[in-house]
Amino acid sequence: MNSSPEQVKSGVVALIGPPNVGKSTLLNSLLGQKISIVSPKPQTTRNRILGIVNGPDYQIVMLDTPGIHRARSPLNLEMVKIALGSLADVDAIIFMVDVTMPLPHTGNTPTSCLDGIDKPVLLLLNKMDLIDKEKLLPIISTYKELYPFHTILPLSAKASDGIDLVIQELCPLLPTGPRLYPEDIPTDATERFIVAEIIREKIFLQTGQEIPYSTAVTIESFKENTAKQLITIHATIYVEKDSQKGIIIGKHGSKLKQLGQAARKDIEILLDQHVLLKLWVKVQKDWTSDPRFLRELGF
């Protein structure tokens, strides 16, 4: 006779907020490993990333989403659509803000995306390590006037300070039932997807101006040689202009080599194997405004 599945606090939580407030950093801290890419530049996250946070008596399926902002280009409009679409079928919502940024005012309320939402919303005040503590009460007071948050928690996602309280506050809001995913997987994202994201992260970290926002990465092949304990990965970096291609490649290929070396280190940690990474750069004119190409990229 089969025993029934273990019953735990198990549910789905959307992680939303403006760009660059630390959503991906929080997810990585909760997981204890890097799943979602991070850079100091806003709008680094483009797709919805699913992270599975497991504990002895809980499983929180966390949806890391692109930053919500005033979008104009087709790519950015799709990013915001992905973020807002994640609110439909969740058990709770985390709304995250950066306490170092100016406080919202009339006509500039980041919480407007929560209008009509009937799910409990936790407000996380991130980057508390970067401000004086006496500034906290005015920040809390301002956000309390904007929305009836279930709980308001100050924390530092980068320092993993306060993230235990996030788990404590979320668990009572989740239904009781079986785990939605096996305990030994941290994400439903494929290795190919994460590898492409790692390469894109290095472009964000090592290039400036419009270059990161004009690049996309696809994995062309992913071949494992068990005898040699080596994985060979071919990836293409797409840019919008010939001038951007030159910047990504660099003088005598120096920048592309630098990007590849940085990405390979993280990919080897992810896959726990030696990796041979081969990168190509191609121009896809104005791809961020091309609906057909955006569909090919999965938007």
User: Which residues carry a binding-site annotation for GTP?
Assistant: 17-24, 64-68, 126-129
Q: Mark the binding-site residues, compressed into ranges.
A: 17-24, 64-68, 126-129
Cα angle, residue 250 at apex, residues 246 and 256 outer, rounded to 5°: 105
Q: How far apart are CA 121 and CA 140, in angstroms?
A: 14
**What is the C-alpha to C-alpha distance for residues 214 and 239, in angstroms, rounded to an integer?**
6
H/E element holding 276?
strand 274-283
Chain Cα centroid distance, residue 261: 22
Backbone torsion region of residue 216, taken as left when φ is above 0, otherwise alpha when ψ lies between -120 and 50, otherwise beta:
beta
Instruction: Return d(Cα 50, Cα 14) in angstroms, integer.
Output: 9
For residues 162 and 94, what is the distance between their CA atoms, to the nearest angstrom? Answer: 14
